[in-house]
Amino acid sequence: MEPREGYVTMKQWEGYMEPFRIFGNLYFVGSTHVCTHIIDTGDGLVMLDSGYPQCLYMITEAMHKVGLDPKDLKYILHSHGHYDHIGGTRALIEMYGVKTVIGRGDEDYVNGKLDLTWAKELGFEYFETFEPDIIMEDGDTLTIGKTTFRAVSTPGHTPGTISFIFNVDDGERTYTAGMFGGAGMNSLKLKFLDAYGLPHSLRDNFPAVIESFRKEKIDILIGNHPKNVDTAGKYLRIMAGEKDAFIDPTAVDRWMDEVKKTYDDMVAAGE
């Protein structure tokens, strides 16, 4: 991870980003570094990734700002078990009784049995452990209200990284939205894998994971970090009147090209 990432957790207000509606019942309520998304299913709210614990107050305030009540949260779906995506979850469990979902392989990250959340690399300790209510595997689905979430196993960034595909609508139009679960190379570097006894297959098989996700038919691609899909730039386009800025069926192919190039550069550098 870049030094800036830890810096944002220390001065979280410097990572503030205006919350907004992406399309229909899909919202962004995250920070400049880590995405948190909300889907209004019509039968409660679903959160995708809970961000750093230090940023939780900004996330709940952001929800209020776009007309969503955190008390209506029913589930938190986690892309993977790293600190910047799971840190706020325990507090939300305690406050609102939300149910939690993680991919098979990362359950021992979030419950604290394995010290692999990347918290200590950022200078923190992971105290906010929780036992997930649901462990999803490739092809599993979860339906809440009018929304069905399909899990796509995309291991690499962590063994249990999950990408989520789901339907969104604005009352007139329905689209398929999706989020790639983990594109960072920090946990695929040989030094990291060897330090924690993780299999090199996570690294070796990642190109196949990229190509598999590339085949998904997704109209609205969201990231779990804003830089993944230029969330900030698309927000500005929406504010300028381009309400469908996120609708782009070609975005997945371009993003997978970027991820593959980053991977190839890492391998070429012998990292």
Q: Which amino acid is at 203?
A: R
Does residue 3 register a pLDDT over 70? no
Domain boundaries along the sequence of the chain = 3-268
Burial class (CB in 10 A: 0-12, 13-18, 19+), 94: exposed
The string of pLDDT tens digits covering residues 23-71 is 999 999 999 999 999 999 999 999 999 999 999 999 999 999 999 999 9
**Total-model pTM:** 0.95
Strand pairing of 134-136 and 220-222?
A: unpaired
Helix, coil or strand: residue 247: strand
Those residues with Cβ within 8 angstroms of residue 34's Cβ, 6 or more apart along the chain or in another chain? 15, 49, 51, 52, 55, 84, 85, 224, 225, 226
Asked if 193 contacts 205 with a C-beta cutoff of 8 angstroms, the reply is: no
The string of pLDDT tens digits covering residues 224-233 is 999 999 999 9
pLDDT band at 245 (very low <50, low <70, confident <90, very high): very high
Asked if 200 contacts 193 with a C-beta cutoff of 8 angstroms, the reply is: yes
- What pLDDT does 2 receive? 40
Q: In CATH, which superfamily holds the domain spanning 3-268? A: Ribonuclease Z/Hydroxyacylglutathione hydrolase-like (3.60.15.10)
